[in-house]
Structure 1
């Protein structure tokens, strides 16, 4: 009997090893996924070592996207993008990705918040960096950018002005900052907040020749009781304004990523909708109830809308969503994304086809 059980156990182990050897990457569709997380405020004070940076990076995606990750680019928020973030964290990872060939048939970068800005810096530089090192560039077919902070955040401007002595924080400012950061940083621990100032963010790789599609997913909710929204122009997700999340060419007080569709799906002209975008930036989903962190988490916050149905990836293939119209009071019409009556924004994105 014991002998038979040993044989059965061996067969099970063999079957499992075959199954797991054929699973391959945890890809979205046919594309391996590389995650780039956002700003982590507690790192300004803790200044973590590399091992802790990696643990924090993993934790930031645990609620949903970690299951799809084939690789991550983890980075420390107490450093600068064009400094140690690039030289000590991004560059070694790019070399690893090139050598292991994970992106040979194309990869998708999935970013959140400031990860959008780091992705832009990568897209602008990775080809030259790797070629100069005798390595193959990473084949990136698109980026999926959630709550993108590539246009900076006015909250970072406020904090840096106060830290540098150029402004005074009133009670409302201090309350908003405490909700976002926990406490006011000092001159010695501002790190990537410098890069998130609106003018600084928009100057990083701003006019790149790279035309990899930047596919955007935008929230219009808040988890800070609207306290931070007072300091952000137009609509916002509690941390970044629509001009950044949508990928607008210019800073402005925008109420939508579309000139003909509101963030809640109402089909009507938007006098303050974004009409000009940074090169290859495409706002595909807008979610009226989703905050800055909700967009990458697993909690349902309401229906989504979209004015763009299909986007061509860098390899010519397309991804997109299906939409339907719904009539409501006073003949008003609303445009919604199929499946968003029950699925979260991240669930919809992970099933783009």
Structure 2
């Protein structure tokens, strides 16, 4: 890989290490956090040391993690993002952080960043004379590995010189960006989140399971810009791990986000080793990973093993047809999920 500007070993160590007790584990494995897209990076580019030290994943997971991998949203996945991730990963290898296996927890674009890293980390670390990280599984919350139509819209509008300025300004207002020129280089990782770009980035199959947790809540107006279900940032086809970018209404063909057992427009197929697990109708993009209860949570896959053993206690419910003020039919839920966040449900279950 290309070398990045020198970062002190002390900074790398301090930036990567979080908690250090047995409490900071999932199923006996150390946890590594990878954050999502940071809009402010595009207008105020942080230094590498700032990136390494900042804590962007919610406190709930920070308290349960051993390390984190930071990256800069103003950069590209195949460029400085992966270069900086690699520098941090070398320190984790030297420290033996994953000697008993690690579980990676990602949010949003962290899914895409990790997909590229995991596709190459064995070669990169071996070439550096180091042991590759033993990654048992990845927990992807609101994963953006399949891209998002919001990024496609921003890139298309910014790069099209024939688009009137008033339209550019309207789209810029949605994203909090400046789209005043036709130069898209300032859009950083948004270029990689364009749906077609994301779905051509490091798509080779690998043996690391990706467990997916998806929401469909959030801003109604944003929903109109994304086909199918979405969490007001990332479409279901991405967060579910669908093999094609078609608009879908659920991670399953048999159960909706609300938990209703019914025929629904789900994915025709899934990316290799991707397993949609939980769906939350009301959780938006941030709430999927925050420790915030948003109502009953349903499931797509349960009672299976993919790097980790997944076995949620479930319950069924029937709402009779005459209760016309409610969604009626048969439903399936994770027991007690209306009082817990998605993150707490996942953590508690994997540590039983």
TM bucket normalised to smaller: 0.7 to 0.9
Structure 1 equivalent of residue 62 of structure 2: 66
Q: CA deviation at 1:68?
A: 1.1
For the pair 1:306 / 2:299, whether they are aligned, the reply is: yes
Unpaired runs of at least 5, structure 1: 1-20
Structure 1 equivalent of residue 9 of structure 2: none
Q: How many equivalent pairs are there?
A: 324
Structure 1 equivalent of residue 108 of structure 2: 113
Write out aligned runs for 1:191-206 (5 A). 191-206=188-203
Partners of 1:302 and 1:163 in 2: how far apart? 38
Structure 1 equivalent of residue 12 of structure 2: none
User: Is the contact between residue 169 and residue 180 of structure 2 (CA under 8 Å) also seen in structure 1?
Assistant: no
Structure 2 equivalent of residue 8 of structure 1: none
> Matched residue of 2:63: which SS?
helix
Structure 1 equivalent of residue 247 of structure 2: 253
User: Is the contact between residue 137 and residue 211 of structure 2 (CA under 8 Å) also seen in structure 1?
Assistant: yes
TM-score, normalized by length of structure 1? 0.86
> Matched residue of 1:203: which SS?
coil
Q: For each residue in 1:136-192, what CA deviation from the matched residue of structure 2 results, as whole angstroms up to 9, or x when unmatched?
A: 111101000011100001111111111112663797885565344355475241110
Structure 1 equivalent of residue 266 of structure 2: 273
1:325 is matched with which residue: 316, 319, 326? 316
Partners of 1:107 and 1:119 in 2: how far apart? 13
Q: Which structure is higher in helix share?
A: 1
Structure 1 equivalent of residue 339 of structure 2: 342
For the pair 1:234 / 2:228, whether they are aligned, the reply is: yes
Unpaired runs of at least 5, structure 2: 1-18, 322-327
Q: For each residue in 1:290-343, what CA deviation from the matched residue of structure 2 results, as whole angstroms up to 9, or x when unmatched?
A: 0011111122111100021134233xx522322110111227111001220200
Partners of 1:323 and 1:175 in 2: how far apart? 45
User: Is the contact between residue 35 and residue 69 of structure 1 (CA under 8 Å) also seen in structure 2?
Assistant: yes
TM-score, normalized by length of structure 2? 0.87
Structure with higher Rg: it is: 1
For the pair 1:75 / 2:109, whether they are aligned, the reply is: no
Partners of 2:256 and 2:108 in 1: how far apart? 22
Partners of 1:133 and 1:264 in 2: how far apart? 48
For the pair 1:126 / 2:117, whether they are aligned, the reply is: no
User: Is the contact between residue 176 and residue 227 of structure 1 (CA under 8 Å) also seen in structure 2?
Assistant: no
Q: CA deviation at 1:97?
A: 1.2
Single out whichever of 241-250 and 170-179 deviates more from structure 2. Answer: 170-179
Structure 2 equivalent of residue 282 of structure 1: 275
User: Is the contact between residue 339 and residue 348 of structure 1 (CA under 8 Å) also seen in structure 2?
Assistant: no
Partners of 1:284 and 1:228 in 2: how far apart? 25
Q: CA deviation at 1:24?
A: 4.3
Q: CA deviation at 1:226?
A: 1.8
Structure 2 equivalent of residue 52 of structure 1: 50
> Matched residue of 1:260: which SS?
coil
> Matched residue of 2:118: which SS?
helix
Write out aligned runs for 1:113-262 (5 A). 113-165=108-160, 168=163, 175=170, 177-181=172-176, 183-184=178-179, 187=183, 188-208=185-205, 210-222=206-218, 225-262=219-256
Partners of 1:352 and 1:251 in 2: how far apart? 30
Residues 281 and 231 (structure 1), Cα distance of their counterparts in 2 relative to 1, 3 Å cut? same
Residues 275 and 311 (structure 1), Cα distance of their counterparts in 2 relative to 1, 3 Å cut? farther
